[in-house]
Amino acid sequence: MNDLRWTDKFAIQELIYSHCDAITRGDLRALESLNAPDAIWEIPLFGLRIESARAFFDFLAEATATADLLLQTAHDPVGATPRRERGASYDNDFRTRPRSRARR
């Protein structure tokens, strides 16, 4: 990634930041506009591979169904840090309400 021109890096960063922003705001239309229908989304660390944008949106809806807040942020999205060769690093913060306990 180090041989990319700064304009290419900026365009990639904007895409990744827009993706994170759309997820944080729960804006499915914006998220759909950023993904090709045949997009592949993977997290090798968790053995996760999702092979279409629609499947990713369904996964996201299910994974966040109980969340009151989902905050996604990107870190070093175009590999400016030498230790990362490819991909972007994200943090996700889910906030959920505690389940109410039945009173006796």
Q: Percent of the chain at pLDDT above 90?
A: 12
Distance CA(82)–CA(62), nearest Å, equals 35
Q: What is the pTM of this model?
A: 0.64
Q: Tell me which residue of 74, 60, 67 sits closest to 18, measured CA to CA.
A: 74
Domains of the chain are 6-79+87-94 (3.10.450.50)
Angle ∠(97,102,104) on CA atoms, nearest 5: 150
Query: 3-class SS at 97?
Result: coil
Average pLDDT (17-28) is: 88
pLDDT of residue 95: 52
Q: pLDDT for 5-16, tens place per residue? A: 888 888 888 988
Q: Name residue 28's amino acid.
A: L
pLDDT of residue 13: 86
Q: Tell me which residue of 75, 45, 43 sits closest to 59, measured CA to CA.
A: 43
Average pLDDT (53-69) is: 87
pLDDT of residue 79: 61
